Structure 1
Amino acid sequence: MSYKSIIVNLAVDSSPSPIVKVGIELAERFGARLIGLAAADVPPLVATGDGMVYEGEIMQIQRTEIEKRLAELRAEFERLVPDSITSEWGQAVCSPTRFLGVSARAADLIVTAGDTGDNVFRAVDLGSLALGAGRPILVTGSNVEHVRAQTVLVAWKDTREARRAISDALPILAKASEVVVVTIDPERDDSIRDSLADVAVFLEHHGILPRTELITSQGDGDKLLIFARSIHADLIVSGAYGHSRLREWAFGGVTRTLLEESEINRFMSY
């Protein structure tokens, strides 16, 4: 298994260089096609306190500005990607989360920065993307230009999501120098230890020799991040846990913490 098509998301309000460099490095590592995508949307009509509505000319100006920025991002993407990598470009004036989600059907992996802002018309909603794309999401730390994935922490929980994440991450895990499978269990349950052992055997059959760790603590994301930093992990692999609630995503504690993390790279599957 390998990644043969990788999407890299260029946010309209961020410098494209760091995330494109990550995409280039991954495409070279796995011999993959690199797909550059960018999108932003014009906010809907808004009524003011005076009863006026922004429309017509103002919305057209906003659309023109977006199209200009998308053209700039395309030019920068094409300038940075070397001829040795097969690449293509896609852009749209629409929700960036929706555009990435739809485009995910043509890729094995989506790569995006985690610090692109909170404006849903101009930045990806990471939670919605992770739970809706049907593909693994690699979220980079702030201004990261290289995802070496030399020391990888696998956050294990005996769930469908975690099993999917480990399977999706196999190409990365196979190239790592160290893989540490970690679970948090305050009660030292024997079944948890058994599940850790099974994961280790699974990875060994794929040529990966991990070590396992059991953290006897309450299951919160802060403990996981503290441990990740203690082993100098440069990537955390985890399942994404959440559900839709009145058109918004409600997340479990660990997933929420990882989505808010800004330093360590995260690989998430649902």
Structure 2
Amino acid sequence: MSYKTIVVNLAADAEPGPIVKLAAEMAHRFNAHLIGFAAADVPPLVSTGEGLVYEGEVMQVKRQEIEKRLAELRDSFEKFVPHSISSQWRQYICGPTRALGLVARSADLIVTADGGEDVFRALDIGSLVLGAGRPVLVLGGNAEHLVGKTVLVAWKDSREARRALSDALPLLAKAKEVVVATMEAGSGTDVQDSLADVAVFLEQHDIKARTEMVAGAADGEGLVAFARAVHADLIVSGAYGHSRLREWAFGGITRSLIGEKSISRLFSN
């Protein structure tokens, strides 16, 4: 298994160089086709006591500004992607989360930096993970390289975690160390058998992994602390084992990992 098509999201308000270089390296590593993507939208008309904030002429100006920015991002993509890599460009004047979800139909993997609050110019990572139907690699910091030297698989015997494990196989196969860790309560045979089965599954894909049972509460902070302890530079996790509404109300590992910006994370749902 490998990634044959990778789509990289270039945020409208971010420097494109680092993420394009990283995505190009990944495309070279996996001999994959690379799709550059960017999108932004004009906010709708807003009614105030003085009338409409955005009138037709103002909205047209804003649309032209977006078109100019998208053209700049395309130039950067074409500049930083070597000619030896098969690539193409896609851009939309549309909400980026929705547009990227559509483009993801033709990709094996989505690569992006963290999202933002402006839904007209930045991704909602949680909505993207839930709707895209593809693994989403969210890069930590301003990394220009994804080494994947030590990969932590956050294991829970759930559909989402199983999907994430399979989606991450190409990255796991190239890692120097793979750690499969669970924060499930207890140390019964069911949990131990679950970890053992995962190790066997990976071994059948020629991936050697060690397993760990992490003590303490099953929360995002504990998982990130463990990731740092084993020097992981990538966390693989299933997303939203509970409903997103419950995670928003009570907190959850997915919500914590989305907010964690120092380590790269791969999410599947």
Do the structures match in fold with TM over 0.5? yes
Look up the match of 2:99. 99
- After superposition, the C-alpha distances for 1:3-36 in whole angstroms (9 at most, x for unaligned) are 0000000001000011101101100110000000
Give the residue type in structure 1 aligned to 2:104. A
SS of the residue 1:141 aligns to: coil
**Structure 2: distance between partners of 1:81 and 1:91:** 17
Look up the match of 1:88. 88
Look up the match of 1:195. 194
What runs of 5+ residues in structure 2 fail to find an aligned partner? Answer: none
The answer as to whether partners of 2:156 and 2:184 remain within 8 angstroms in 1 is no
The answer as to whether partners of 1:243 and 1:250 remain within 8 angstroms in 2 is no
CA distance 1:175–1:250, shift in 2 (3 Å): farther
Q: Offset at 1:189?
A: 2.7
Look up the match of 2:6. 6
**Structure 1: distance between partners of 2:54 and 2:24:** 41
- After superposition, the C-alpha distances for 1:209-248 in whole angstroms (9 at most, x for unaligned) are 1000001211101000001001110000000015365xx9
What runs of 5+ residues in structure 1 fail to find an aligned partner? Answer: none
**Structure 2: distance between partners of 1:33 and 1:200:** 31
**Structure 1: distance between partners of 2:249 and 2:63:** 32
Look up the match of 1:52. 52
**Structure 1: distance between partners of 2:227 and 2:250:** 21
**Structure 1: distance between partners of 2:80 and 2:94:** 25
The answer as to whether partners of 1:243 and 1:251 remain within 8 angstroms in 2 is no
- After superposition, the C-alpha distances for 1:145-175 in whole angstroms (9 at most, x for unaligned) are 1011010000000000000000000011001
**Structure 2: distance between partners of 1:97 and 1:250:** 22
Q: Offset at 1:190?
A: 2.1
The answer as to whether partners of 1:188 and 1:216 remain within 8 angstroms in 2 is no
The answer as to whether partners of 1:6 and 1:34 remain within 8 angstroms in 2 is yes
Q: Offset at 1:197?
A: 0.5
Matched, 1:70 2:58: no
Q: TM-score, normalised by structure 1?
A: 0.96
Give the residue type in structure 2 aligned to 1:62. K
Look up the match of 2:40. 40
The answer as to whether partners of 1:46 and 1:54 remain within 8 angstroms in 2 is yes
**Structure 2: distance between partners of 1:230 and 1:44:** 46
CA distance 1:32–1:21, shift in 2 (3 Å): same
The answer as to whether partners of 2:116 and 2:124 remain within 8 angstroms in 1 is no
**Structure 1: distance between partners of 2:21 and 2:60:** 33
**Structure 1: distance between partners of 2:137 and 2:250:** 18
Q: 1:82-231, aligned counterparts within 5 Å?
A: 82-114=82-114, 116-231=115-230
**Structure 1: distance between partners of 2:83 and 2:251:** 43
Look up the match of 2:262. 263
Look up the match of 1:22. 22
Q: Offset at 1:2?
A: 0.4
Give aligned pairs, total: 268
**Structure 2: distance between partners of 1:249 and 1:268:** 17
CA distance 1:7–1:251, shift in 2 (3 Å): farther
SS of the residue 2:52 aligns to: coil
The answer as to whether partners of 2:248 and 2:255 remain within 8 angstroms in 1 is no
SS of the residue 1:212 aligns to: strand
**Structure 2: distance between partners of 1:226 and 1:24:** 30
State which drifts further: 183-192 or 149-158: 183-192
SS of the residue 1:92 aligns to: strand
**Structure 2: distance between partners of 1:252 and 1:237:** 19
